[in-house]
A and B are shown apart, each in its own frame.
Chain A
Amino acid sequence: AQKITQTQPGMFVQEKEAVTLDCTYDTSDQSYGLFWYKQPSSGEMIFLIYQGSYDEQNATEGRYSLNFQKARKSANLVISASQLGDSAMYFCAGGGGGADGLTFGKGTHLIIQP
């Protein structure tokens, strides 16, 4: 099982600025994956981006990128050019080789200000 740590309970960011949400992980698995989810106030969990432990390139999906630093065990989410609609809870999650589900961090509440 993994341990996922998100150290930023809340963040305020000006619209159009870039945002970095921190995530560190701890696992003994050789093969693992890291995920980011967005949860707006409506409550649904929206998958944003995935990084595999053996992927050599950092994952990118549109305005989202994952800054994966294996030696530091960090998997930070970067949102470029933030928008008001980015205001939400963001969860980092990790999964190992077994079928035992994803382990989630406690989340970061991001608020984008106009």
Chain B
Amino acid sequence: DVKVTQSSRYLVKRTGEKVFLECVQDMDHENMFWYRQDPGLGLRLIYFSYDVKMKEKGDIPEGYSVSREKKERFSLILESASTNQTSMYLCASSLVANTEAFFGQGTRLTVV
């Protein structure tokens, strides 16, 4: 089975901190994604990557950056955390475009 693992289930960070969310997949998938989920808004795409060192902005990239140095690992970075970035963050991967995405268990981030 495909496994997508996010490094933390819950995080509490202070405003202004630099925050790293890590995601690892074990099925050699080309594509990896970061979404944030907020009540009433569904899942919104922050960034995605279709290859090592490649990254593309999604729908809501402001305040975030990403890193993909290895195929299996995709990191989301909050350069200076703010309270409006309190949310559930979901990492996903897929083998190729337009196929099933496999999700991690999510990281619930609270910025205080």
Q: Point out residues on A near B: beta carbons under 8 Å.
A: 6, 9, 31-33, 35, 37, 43-45, 47, 50, 91, 93, 95-107
21 intermolecular pairs with C-beta atoms under 8 Å apart = A6-B42, A31-B98, A32-B98, A35-B101, A43-B88, A44-B103, A44-B105, A93-B43, A93-B101, A96-B97, A96-B98, A97-B98, A99-B50, A100-B58, A100-B97, A101-B33, A101-B58, A102-B33, A104-B35, A104-B43, A105-B42
Kindly count the residue-residue contacts between A and B in the assembled complex, taking CB atoms under 8 Å apart.
Answer: 67
Q: Does B64 contact A (CB under 8 A)?
A: no
Is there an interface contact between A106 and B41, defined as CB atoms closer than 8 Å?
A: yes
Within 8 A of A (CB), among B31-48: 31, 33, 35, 40-45, 48
Interface of B toward A, CB cutoff 8 Å: 30-31, 33, 35, 40-45, 48, 50, 56, 58, 88, 90, 92, 96-103, 105-106
Residue of B nearest to A29 (CB): B98
Determine the distance from Cα of A9 to Cα of B40 in the docked complex, in whole angstroms.
Answer: 8
Write the chain B residue with the least CB distance to A35: B100
Q: Are B106 and A102 within 8 A (Cβ)? A: no
Given A44-B103, A44-B105, A45-B103, A91:B43 Cβ within 8 A: yes
